[in-house]
Structure 1
Amino acid sequence: MIAMLKEIILDFQDVELETGVPRRVKVTPVAGKATVCIGVRRCGKSTFMFQFIKRLLESGVPKQNILYLNFFDDRLHGLQHYGLGAVLEAYFSLYPAKKNTEKVYCFFDEIQVVNGWESFVDRLMRMEKCEVFITGSSAQMLSREIATQMRGRALSWEMFPFSFREFLDSKGIDGSGPFSTKQRLMVQKAFEEYWDSGGFPEVVGLARSLRIMIHQEYFNAVLFRDLVERHDISHPRAVADLAHRLVDNTSSLYSVNSLTGYLKSLGHNAPKSAVSDYLEWFEDAYFLFTVRIFDCSLARTNANPKKIYCVDHSLVSSVSSGILVNSGHLLENLVFTALRRVTPDIFYFKSKGGREVDFIAQFQGRRLLVQVCESLSDRQTRGREVSALSDAMTELSLSSGIIVTRNEEERIQLESGSIDVVPVWRFLLNLQEQESGE
């Protein structure tokens, strides 16, 4: 095992790094703490690590001081038997003079697949002269283990597939605005491509058939590696059927009872408790997200139906049957993922009169009301969407709201305040500017 580890360490030090598009994720390493990046698989976490490594090399850090391991590498499967201590033994047998004299930068991809990783990293932080960077595709496992085992010696950041601004970066288009007519047209054209391809870096620019194949590969990898294998699920077919049901109902309400009944109708003997676990594990893998109703009563929040969203709207198109998902659902899902990059505190709102607003998001000490509607050209639709927002603004004592559309833009003045109608491409760019303080 030691010989294999040495070979892997040396091979990486000789490879030319693929650093891709710089990500707009503000990750700030802090001395004495491990830097942890969590997100759905294939969203670009490893490439983000390589960007860090490249900056270190450019700043003068010798490549021999970089230790990188990807624990999804099949050759490292034996570490479960040998223990992670073999990693240090292999590295310092290559470079014995560096032990306790030079800083070693340790980059560990998907380390959570190896049992006991928490105490190993904790020991690195305490006993060795190391700076540690970790990625993982499990929010619950990493956050729980960091909190209980690493005793405050880690800081975590989330990563998602490309935002629209990052997608523009990948195309070499400046999305900062204000825009000339030509620039605006370029941004709008790029948005149509983003609408088709979604944000997973690997599928950008690929033909539709290839994109669908890769998205479906991601879907199956999440199901079987992040759920079935990780949680030792004895009925994987039930998990797959539930995932397909949820993706088919993206942006729609669900209840655990209805999902349990659906699985029962397919012949699965999955109790409500198992369905609840599956839902939690989907979110843990940053794949499917649950949004609850906004209510000061936790009991009412838990009792009401919840809404489901996917990490990427285009993945939904590639995986769903297409029977229940329409472009309005995909638009709402896209708005959700944009909000989720900014904050996890997202709810839907129902007024006292029963009118629903798609999102109320809480971040930077304020509340943002967002309604999603493809078009307000129909008078009845316009009245319904505006009335729902107006009710929510009044009940929550807010003076503004937003309606996100595909292409329309205006300001609506009401007694309760103002509603900005904005095209989705502009909403995505404005939201990221607000979050980053640009």
Structure 2
Amino acid sequence: MVETIKSIILDFQESRMETGVPRRLHIETVHGKAAVFIGVRRSGKSTYLFQVIQRLLDRGVPRQNILYLNFFDDRLHNLRQHNFGLIAEAYYSIYPEKKNAETVYCFFDEIQAAPGWEPFVDRLMRTEKCEVYLSVSSARKLSKEIATQMRGRALSWEIFPFSFREFLDYKGIESEGALSTKKRLLVQKSFTEYWETGGFPEVAGLGRNLRIKTHQEYFHTILFRDLVERHDISHPKAVTDLAHWLADNTASLYSINSLTGYLKSLGHKAPKSAVSDYLEWFEDAYFLFTARIFDPSLARSNTNPKKVYCIDHALVTSVSSGILVNSGHLLENLVFTALRRLHPEIRYYRTKTGREVDFIVSMRGGTRLLVQVCESLAEPRTRKRETAALSEAMAELGLKAGTIVTRNEDERIETGGGNIEVVPAWRFLLELPESTE
């Protein structure tokens, strides 16, 4: 096994890295803590690791001081808790002079594929002169295992598929500062493309059929690798049927009871506890997200119906039946993922009279952002309904501003208690900050 690991290490050091489009993720490493990158499969975590490696090389770090292993490599399949020490043994048998003398930069990609890795990383950081970077496709790996096994020796960053700004970077379109008429038209045209293709880096530039095929492959890999295999699910068809229902009902309300009833109607014997687990595992894999109602009472927040969103609006169109999903729901999903990149807790709001506002986000510094999503306000009844819900929520929360995100409309509506900004989606996405810092 040592010889195999040695050849993998040397192969990487001689290979050419594909660093892709620079991501707009700014990380800071802390001595004695592993940097962990977490996100859905195919969101660009490996490429981001390569970007970090390239920055180290540009700083003058020798290539020999980079130790990179991808745990999806079949040759590492037999690595388990009892023989992780072979990694350090293999590396230092190639470079014995570096042990305790030079910093070694360790990059372990998709490390959740190797059971029992946490104590190894913890020990490596305590006993060797090294910096450690990890990528994982599971939130639970981070929150539970790392917290207990690594005793706080990790800082984590989320990696999502391309944001609209990153998509513009991929297209080579400058999005900073004031936009000239020509640049604005280019940005709007690119938004139409982003609307069609979504943010997964691999599908950018693909034709429609290939894009759908690729999205469907992601969908099945997430289901079977991240759910069925990882959690040893004995009824995979129930999970698949549930995933399809949730994709079909993106941006809609659900309850555990209604989902359990739905699976029962298909002949699945999945109890409520199992359905609850499935949902948690979908979130764990960064495939689906839930938004709870905004309520000071945790009990009420948990018992009220929740809304479901997918990691990528275009993935929804590729895997859903197309019967229930409409473009208004997809626009709402797109806005949700843009907000979720910045804030872990996105809620929906219900006014005292029962009107609903799609998103309320608690910002740093105690301010709150209210966002309603509506494809178009051209129809007077729609306009009245959306503005009434938002202005009512603004009054209840004591806010002077609210936002309605549309496909193309742009105006300011003055209400008795403040202003409602109506903005096209492309501009809303560009005006969001790149981070919460």
TM-score normalized with structure 1 length: 0.98
Kindly provide the amino acid, as one letter, of the partner of residue 199 in structure 2: G
**Is 1:419 aligned to 2:420, yes or no?**
yes
1:68 aligns with 2:100: no
Tell me, yes or no, if structure 1 residue 395 matches structure 2 residue 387: no
Partner Cα separation in structure 2 for residue 249 and residue 239 of structure 1: 15
Equivalent position of 1:59 in the other structure: 59
Q: What are the within-5 Å matches in structure 2 for residues 215-254 of structure 1?
A: 215-254=215-254
RMSD: 1.0
Task: Indicate the residue corresponding to 1:431 in structure 2.
Answer: 432
Deviation at 1:338, TM superposition (A): 0.2
Q: 1:38 is matched by which residue type in structure 2?
A: I
In structure 2, the residue matched to 1:165 is 165
Paired amino acid for 1:312: D
Counterpart of 1:200? Answer: 200
- Cα-to-partner distance string for 1:386-412 (whole Å, 9 max, x where unaligned): 000011001111111000000000111
Deviation sequence 1:321-355 (CA, Å, 0-9, x none): 00000100100000000000010111000100110
One-letter amino acid matched to 1:377: A
For 1:268, the equivalent position in structure 2 comes to 268
Counterpart-to-counterpart distance in 2, 1:19 and 1:114: 25
Structure 1 partner of 2:89:
89
Output the CA distance in 2 between the equivalents of 1:409 and 1:402. 11
For residues 405 and 5 of structure 1, the distance between their equivalents in structure 2, rounded to whole angstroms, comes to 53
Deviation at 1:182, TM superposition (A): 0.5
Per the TM alignment, residue 225 of structure 1 is displaced from its structure 2 partner at its CA by: 0.5
Hey, what does 1:367 align to over in structure 2? 368
Secondary structure of 2:322's aligned partner: coil
The match for 1:318 is 318
Equivalent position SS for 2:80: helix
Secondary structure of the corresponding residue to residue 21 of structure 1? coil
- Say how many residue pairs are matched: 436
Matched residue, 1:27: 27
Secondary structure of 1:336's match? helix
Partner residue, 1:378: 379
CA distance in 2, matches of 1:80, 1:146: 17
Aligned to 1:142: 142
| 1:436 positional shift | 6.0
Q: 1:422 to 1:81 in 2, by over 3 A?
A: closer
Q: Give me the whole-angstrom Cα distance separating, in 1, the residues matched to 2:377 and 2:83.
A: 60
Name the SS for the 2:405 alignment partner: strand
TM-score normalised by length of structure 2: 0.98
Counterpart in the other structure of 2:287: 287
User: Could you list the per-position Cα deviations for residues 277-307 of structure 1 after superposition, in whole angstroms to 9, with x for gaps in the alignment?
Assistant: 0000000000000110001111111111110
Q: Which residue of 1 aligns with 2:410?
A: 409
Question: What displacement does 1:130 show?
Answer: 0.6
Secondary structure of 1:408 counterpart: coil
Q: How much has 1:226 moved relative to structure 2?
A: 0.5
Matched residue of 1:79: which SS? coil
C-alpha distance in structure 1 between counterparts of 2:180 and 2:61, whole Å: 43
Residue type at the aligned position of 1:53: I
Alignment-derived partner of residue 133 in structure 2: 133
Mapped pair 1:39 → 2:44:
no
Q: Is the 8 A contact 1:226 1:285 kept in 2?
A: yes
Deviation track 1:61-113 (CA, whole Å, cap 9, x = no partner) reads: 11111000011111110112752111111111111111111110000011122
Matching residue of 1:346: 346
Q: Secondary structure at the match of 1:308?
A: strand
- For structure 2, the residue ranges without an aligned partner over 5 or more in a row are none
2:432 alignment partner, SS class: helix
Q: How high is the sequence identity, in percent, across the aligned residues?
A: 71
Counterpart residue identity of residue 369, structure 1: L
2:314 counterpart SS class: helix
Give SS of 2:60's match.
coil
> Does the CA contact (< 8 Å) of 1:349 and 1:392 recur in 2?
yes
Aligned to 2:111: 111
* 3-state SS, counterpart of residue 118 of structure 1: helix
**Separation in 2 of the partners of 1:423 and 1:244?**
30
CA–CA separation in structure 2 for the residues paired with 1:141 and 1:262: 30
- For residues 407-438 of structure 1, give each alpha carbon's deviation from its aligned partner in whole angstroms, at most 9, with x where no partner exists: 000111111111000000000010135x467x
Q: Which residue of 2 aligns with 1:303?
A: 303
Asked if 2 retains the 8 angstrom alpha-carbon contact of 1:45 and 1:135, the reply is: yes
Equivalences for residues 170-181 of structure 1 within 5 A: 170-181=170-181
Deviations 1:110-150 (A, max 9, x none): 11222221111111111100100000010111221221111
